[in-house]
Amino acid sequence: MRTVAKDAASTLFKPQTLGSLQLANRIVMSPMTRSFAPGGVPGEDIAEYYRRRAGADVGLIITEGVWVDHAGASNDDNVPRFYGEDALAGWARVVKRVHEAGGKIMPQLWHVGLFSGAYDSAGETNPKPERLEREKRQVGPSGMIGGQGRAPVPTGEPMSLAEIESVIDAFASGAQAARRLGFDGIALHGAHGYLLDQFLWAATNLRADSYGGDRSQRTRFVAEMIAEIRRRTSPDFPIMLRYSQWKLQDYGAGLATTPGELDELLTPLVDAGVDIIDCSQRRFWEPVFEGSDLNLAGWTKKLTGKPTVTVGSVGLDQEMFATFAGATGAPASLDRLIGLLDRGDFDLVAVGRALLVDPDWATKVKEGRHDAALPFTPDALGRLN
């Protein structure tokens, strides 16, 4: 197996200054849900989990998705909250530990909208009985949710204007709390079929008012949220937005089929105040449009001029869903990634499963020992630390 040379890997460890955000290197820990916070409160184990990676050469940590303070945000009581005295005290401890280890950290604010993630093998909605009451309170732009590979179907009423305002307020309040606790910025989960993405995606946003319509109009909800976060924090408080073409319920979905369409989507979000754009792909090396070898992060940077983050099977030879289905992901060469970085396609590299299973992954790469990184095995999820 050929792995990246130590001198080539040094590209990953160049300090980066992105606005007010100063990072020791280009490696980002990608947000990964673990459901290890009983009652939504992050404990000592979560503080140690993030500290270990910050102390092992990870430049920026994006936390697992955390629930904003809205009744319909959550579909898992063991995912951390980002509101309430106990939960925020836990996050204050996390920030302290990460900073003591020399790292930077942002929380990823999250609202699932109408997406429950509860589907049976045929792609039919199949929520667990104990989740039914909670799901009745969930909201979405048009009351539409999709099944696996299927067209979205109606499940409720469209969000009212008051509900839209309350969700924007919940995200902005979360951003205020993050700044107060000393986080180094905030990240917004606008990808994978969750609430923000439901507004951006034509298949789930069928609204006839000013929050629906063409591609640019469908950005209004997210753009207003970004602008309100900027208003309630400060001009230099970093705001990162994650978006994706694919959805958990439809891997073949897309927000844009051409660079022009993507520009229509991104321009209002940049104008609203986004600083960094996290471009989620399942495989970072795949081009997003015909006729160009640029991936999603490459096109996003070209169109917006904003710093971008690439992600998608970095450091492993198997894509995410194959490993979750039982395949072992072995360490893979980073040569292609380094080539794209050196070309200037994107600024930061988000690493998921490789860092999930091996807290020392970044240090091993820095020392030219990438082939010593731990594989992602089928039982890895049972021994995360």
Q: HSE of 251 in the Cβ direction (CA atoms, 13 Å)?
A: 7
Q: What share of the chain is helix, strand, coil (3-state, %, to 5)?
A: 35, 15, 45
CB atoms within 10 A of CB 89: 12
- Which DSSP string do the residues of 44-99 spell out, in sequence order? HHHHHHHHHHHTTT-SEEEEEEEE-S-TTS-S-TTSPBS-SHHHHHHHHHHHHHHH
Report the DSSP beta bridge partners of residue 350: 28
Strands 276-280, 60-67: pairing kind: unpaired
Residue 194 catalytic? yes
Using left for φ > 0, alpha for ψ between -120 and 50, and beta otherwise, residue 214 falls in beta
8 Å CB contact between 128 and 119: no
Is residue 366 within a helix (H) or strand (E), and if so which, with residue range? helix 361-366
From 194, 211, 243, 251, active-site residue:
194
CA torsion 100-104-106-107 (nearest 10°) is -30
Query: Which residues, in sequence order, are CB contacts of 282 under 8 Å at separation 6+?
Result: 246, 251, 312, 313, 319, 320, 321
C-alpha torsion sign, points 365, 371, 377, 379? negative
Give catalytic residues, as residue numbers.
194
